[in-house]
Chain A
Amino acid sequence: MNMMRSLFVAAAILTLPASGMAQYAAGDVKDGGTISGTVKFKGTAPAPKKLDVGKDKEVCAKTPKMDQSLVVNNGNIANAVVTITDIKKGKKIELKKVTLDQHGCEYKPHVLAFPAGSSVEILNPDGILHNIHSYSKVNSAFNIAQPKFKKSMQQKIEKPEAFEIKCDVHGWMSGWLVSTANPYFAVTDNSGSFKLTDVPAGAYTVEVWHEKLGKSTQKVTVKAKEDAKANFELAGK
């Protein structure tokens, strides 16, 4: 079972960039529509698991740590990434500064999405040693120490890919970086909802990806200045 799950996740990691690799031309979008919806969990969600904090407790165990790999609130899935996989033309890609905070030995946000080419600022306010070990395959893998005296580091992610990051010092720490091929992406919030804006009118494939539940796609037609709905349901493995 465990094997199957990891295989599935591996498959998801491998296929996500491939589907997002289509050439993208940026420009101005007039009268764009939106795509919004919610991502729901099919069936009964497993009870959230408490993580075992066995190290650096005075810093890491101030608040109880919960497993963030599957967060479901009233059937709504948080931390799922919604993207348009086949969009050829659309709004400009803004490479904003994105921040990953390790405060309290936990990655915040748990899933960080951004357009490929962005630099991720990684913060370590904990005053202890962390390291950021990427399990990336498309981007070259990195494993960089962030000792106490390095409060902030930059790491540029060049290519579209969803990959896990872990801290080898604190085995429970796990997060995901999702770099996308175009600026149409959203991470679902605690209510499982998302919204993609300034989408030029047209028919698209919208994909939802979740680290544990894999992915699912649907075709969505967007009309100018209108909101198109895309609701997803992901089943537990």
Chain B
Amino acid sequence: MAERGIDEKEEKKSYGSIFLIGSALLVVMSIWAFWDDNITRRPWKGIQYRFYRLDYQKAQAAYDEEQKKLQADANYQALYKKLEEAKSSLEKGELAKKLAGLKSQEDDASVRFKEIDQEIKFIKSEMEELWYEYDHAVQQQRNAKPYLDRIRELEKEQAKLDPVLEAARKKRDALREEIKKIISGTKEVETEMAKLTAERDKWQRVMANVTLKLGPVTFYKIPKIQQASMDEFDRNRFDQPVARVDRCQTCHLAINRAGFEDQPNPFKTHPRREVFLSDNAHAPDKLGCTGCHEGQGVAVNSAKQAHGEVHLWEFPLLRGAKSQSSCTSCHLDVQKFEEYAPLLSEGQRLFEQIGCTGCHLVKGYENIPKIAPSLRKISAKADPSWMVRWIENPHKFRPRTRMPNFELKPEDAVAIAAYVWSSAKEEGDKWLQEHALPAGFREGDANLAARGKTLVETIGCKGCHGFADGEFSTPVGKGKDLVPNLKDISAKTGAQWIYHWIRNPRGYQPDTNMPSLRLSDDEALAITTYLATLGSKGEEITGIQEKLADPENIKRGESLVRKWGCFGCHDIKGMEKESRIGAELTIFGSKTVEELAFGNRTDIAHTWDDWTYHKLKTPRGYATERVEQVMPQFDLADEDIKALRILLGGFRERKVGHRYLADQGLRVQQVVEGRRLMQQYNCVGCHEIEKRGGFVRKYYENPASAPPPLNGEGEKVQSNWFYNFLKAPIPLRPWLQIRMPTFGFSDEHATQLVNYFNGLSKVEQPFVYIDDKKISPENLEAARQLTSPEYFNCFSCHVRGGKNPEGPPEGWAPDLAMARQRLSPNWILKWLKDPQKIQPGTKMPSFYPGGPDNILGGKDDRQIEAMRDYLLTLGGGAPAVAAAVAADTAKAKPAKR
């Protein structure tokens, strides 16, 4: 056998076991491959199954609960019985038989109808063909008559069939109608039932949503990546628009579903989802999650990867409040969202108000004016020894001051003071010569001081300044005051400066934010006397005058002023051309850890968050032997540091695609710009605006004696009036002791403020034209009655054209004769309808609903409109206008003829 080349032994050898092992291995490998591919490498699948189970169980429980409720509901039971009965009667018994008979008849009738219909359609097609042949024959001048004859024949046939078709249709429809009538009873019950069980059925749908049905078997759906894709959201390194894709909702399956608030993540519902995730906010199916929360949106292999908390990924997840940093990527106006992004709003206010922009340039914050007083005439104002001590460490004298501590050596403080002093001396001396202290001033006059104190407490000084320990009006963050506390003012300055400053602040510093309270000389003297009693002059530094005049000191001081950047906040003569000394922060939030200098510090974690926190906490903490740090110590509260950090985190190198940006139009820009101005002038010290502020109100037991809130002021007043009022305020509520000060707004600033309030109220049309011709005499007469003592007695409280009502002034209300010039006619309607809604707690009571029945048909709306019309005529001259109009029309009539 072997010679034939066949090895019998080999032929008979069995490889079965090898094949067996091989195939077993293949099976194992296949299973392993499947396992690895589907489970080990796709942990999200397990997570989705977990969620389906959770969702199903919750829905099941809710379903059972609803079902139990329904079972206990007699209404449901009755309906259920009725439905069952109706159904069974349609299935068996007399009615069922009848229905079956009707149905078969309807079938027949239907067939019959279709047959005839078909026949007619054939005739019609044949006619179409014949008409074509006929036209063709006529055009070719052939004999066309046979065609026409055949057409006539067919017409006759159709005419015969038409009524038959109609009869067949009628028969079929009648049968259908009859069937419908029999079934309709059940249909109605079914609709009613569906209404009753809607809540239960909803849960059934939820269960159906996470399961698949295959015949009798039900199993959970097959997991699937859930991905949101936002075209042109980002820009790549080549500045080309690219899509952003995130798959966060592969695991965060209940992020936009109510009912999972108490679940641990990833199945937790987003906090306040009805606001944040609503369709007109950030619908997660369209906008995904990473737009606000960052992370590595496309990763699904592990939570750590997906959250971007891995080495070298530049955008780690922003959890909780930290996501507020992202708002600025798309929203220009963030303080509007104070309620939703409180830290960001607070951070922005801090950033704008504590002077960060004096040293740091940031896009969007370039035009914030210097926040501190001008030092051009400082020699006329400050006590020199005080000034040196203040420069050395301002927090020692006033812990809540915004001025930071530069931690200067005493001799450096002297040098800086010397430079500033010498630069101001000439102008300061001139001002002092021109502004002598009035002869009537007697230091320490108790009576005058007492009067001054009363004035300070009543006319509005406390809207901005504190006068005792811990007293303040407008806080900046937690730890700072917007306006200085004057409890030790005598240590800083003297009566001469105070007197002229409070009488006319702009006479000393033309661009100051301090307004004039239109003080009389007597009032100014009284307040000066009072302020002079607050605190006392500190110890004089020996030889201070010589030190300040020392050229060596002045020279050294100049370079120190440049080094520390004093001109970032103060206007200093000779330093007008200096620019900001700090680093630009426009893209500070995008800095990676590698770009941040931690100096030699090893005691803190090397993250952006930690670096920023400690930089704000101890600004010079990263200094080393070789590298000096110049940022001064602000002594910020921890909360304030955190708020600032949220804002800084949003200073990113990021260009979000246009279509994703929130409104950035002119109106929004006006609001942002106007709000900044409003805060700069501290309007919120006295007035509540955008539901914030009105800090002076805490001093008033009776809210009617405090300045009015200005929420919605844009909608309330006419722009022209508002502008004029801002330029030159007049007392609107003469009974108030507190005064609206004169700020001396420039035309530009007054316009910006009006635009701000109009923007907040979304005023489309800032002008008002009152057409007296359109005011009907009927309305005027009705309103005269309504406002009379017989009815609403409006002038029991309201001043009318300067005529005051009875009783003490604190019971009075604004002059209604101003309405024509001042109020927006539409606002008057709203106000009369429900004043409490516009201004909760107002003294103005609601007169509606419930106007008198006998005027204007008892219709509330008509009465309100009539009173509005009437108020608009009170503004002096209106009746005369009406009369003139009447005369005009009288004259015009004959001419027309």
| B812-840 interface (Cβ within 8 A of A) | 835-836, 840
Contact B811 A145 (CB under 8 A): no
Asked whether B5 is an interface residue with its Cβ less than 8 Å from the other chain, the reply is no
Given the known inter-chain contacts A141-B836, A145-B792, please indicate yes or no for A133 contacting B806, CB distance below 8 A: no
Contact B836 A145 (CB under 8 A): no
By size class, the interface of chain A is 20 to 34
Q: How many A-B residue pairs have CB under 8 A?
A: 74
Q: What chain B residues lie within 8 Å of A129 (beta carbons)?
A: 789, 792-793, 796
Q: What chain B residues lie within 8 Å of A150 (beta carbons)?
A: 850
Contact A148 B789 (CB under 8 A): yes
Contact A143 B842 (CB under 8 A): yes
Q: What chain A residues lie within 8 Å of B791 (beta carbons)?
A: 147-149
Asked whether B810 is an interface residue with its Cβ less than 8 Å from the other chain, the reply is yes
Chain B residue at minimum C-beta to C-beta distance from A55: B807
| A130-163 interface (Cβ within 8 A of B) | 131-133, 141-145, 147-150
Contact B845 A148 (CB under 8 A): no
Q: What chain A residues lie within 8 Å of B840 (beta carbons)?
A: 141
Asked whether A128 is an interface residue with its Cβ less than 8 Å from the other chain, the reply is yes
CB of A147, distance to nearest CB on chain B (Å): 5
Q: Give the interface SS of chain A, mostly helix, strand, loop or mixed.
A: loop
Contact A54 B796 (CB under 8 A): no
Contact B843 A133 (CB under 8 A): yes
Asked whether B847 is an interface residue with its Cβ less than 8 Å from the other chain, the reply is yes
Contact A171 B842 (CB under 8 A): no
Q: What chain A residues lie within 8 Å of B811 (beta carbons)?
A: 54-55, 168-171
Q: What chain B residues lie within 8 Å of A63 (beta carbons)?
A: none
Chain A residue at minimum C-beta to C-beta distance from B805: A55
Asked whether A74 is an interface residue with its Cβ less than 8 Å from the other chain, the reply is no
CB of B842, distance to nearest CB on chain A (Å): 7
CB of B851, distance to nearest CB on chain A (Å): 9
Asked whether A2 is an interface residue with its Cβ less than 8 Å from the other chain, the reply is yes
Given the known inter-chain contacts A54-B807, A142-B836, A168-B797, please indicate yes or no for A147 contacting B792, CB distance below 8 A: yes
CB of B702, distance to nearest CB on chain A (Å): 9
Q: What chain B residues lie within 8 Å of A169 (beta carbons)?
A: 793, 796-797, 811
Q: How far is the CA of A71 from the CA of B844 in the complex (A)?
A: 30
Contact B808 A54 (CB under 8 A): yes
Asked whether A56 is an interface residue with its Cβ less than 8 Å from the other chain, the reply is yes
| B840-879 interface (Cβ within 8 A of A) | 840-847, 850, 852
Chain A residue at minimum C-beta to C-beta distance from B835: A143
Asked whether A6 is an interface residue with its Cβ less than 8 Å from the other chain, the reply is yes
Contact A56 B806 (CB under 8 A): yes
Q: How far is the CA of A97 from the CA of B789 in the complex (A)?
A: 30
Contact B847 A145 (CB under 8 A): yes
Q: How far is the CA of A144 from the CA of B835 in the complex (A)?
A: 10
CB of B69, distance to nearest CB on chain A (Å): 24
Residue among B701, B790, B807, B846 making CB contact with A145, cutoff 8 Å = B846
CB of B794, distance to nearest CB on chain A (Å): 9
Q: What chain A residues lie within 8 Å of B701 (beta carbons)?
A: 2-3, 6
Q: What chain B residues lie within 8 Å of A55 (beta carbons)?
A: 796, 805-807, 811
Contact A149 B852 (CB under 8 A): yes
Chain B residue at minimum C-beta to C-beta distance from A6: B701
Contact A143 B808 (CB under 8 A): no
Residue among B841, B843, B846, B852 making CB contact with A144, cutoff 8 Å = B846
Contact A133 B807 (CB under 8 A): no
Q: How far is the CA of A128 from the CA of B788 in the complex (A)?
A: 11
| A166-191 interface (Cβ within 8 A of B) | 168-171
Contact B808 A171 (CB under 8 A): yes
Q: What chain A residues lie within 8 Å of B790 (beta carbons)?
A: 148-149
Residue among B793, B842, B846 making CB contact with A128, cutoff 8 Å = B793
Residue among A2, A54, A144, A148 making CB contact with B806, cutoff 8 Å = A54
Chain B residue at minimum C-beta to C-beta distance from A153: B850
Among A55, A128, A142, A147, chain B packs the most CB atoms within 10 A around the CB of A147
| B792-806 interface (Cβ within 8 A of A) | 792-793, 796-797, 805-806
| B142-160 interface (Cβ within 8 A of A) | none
Q: What chain B residues lie within 8 Å of A133 (beta carbons)?
A: 843, 845
Chain A residue at minimum C-beta to C-beta distance from B701: A6
Give a binary string over A1-24; 1 marks a CB under 8 Å from any B CB, 0 the rest.
Answer: 011001000000000000000000
Given A132-B845, A148-B791, 11 other A-B residues pairs in contact with their CB atoms under 8 A: A54-B808, A129-B789, A131-B845, A143-B843, A143-B844, A145-B792, A148-B789, A169-B793, A169-B811, A170-B811, A171-B810
29 A-B residue pairs with Cβ-Cβ distance under 8 Å, sorted by A, are A2-B701, A3-B701, A6-B701, A54-B808, A55-B796, A55-B811, A56-B796, A128-B789, A129-B792, A131-B845, A132-B845, A133-B843, A142-B846, A143-B836, A143-B841, A144-B846, A145-B846, A147-B791, A147-B792, A147-B793, A148-B789, A148-B790, A168-B704, A168-B797, A168-B843, A168-B845, A170-B807, A171-B808, A171-B811
What 9 A-B pairs are tightest by C-beta distance, nearest first?
A: A55-B807, A131-B845, A145-B845, A129-B793, A168-B843, A54-B807, A55-B806, A145-B847, A143-B845
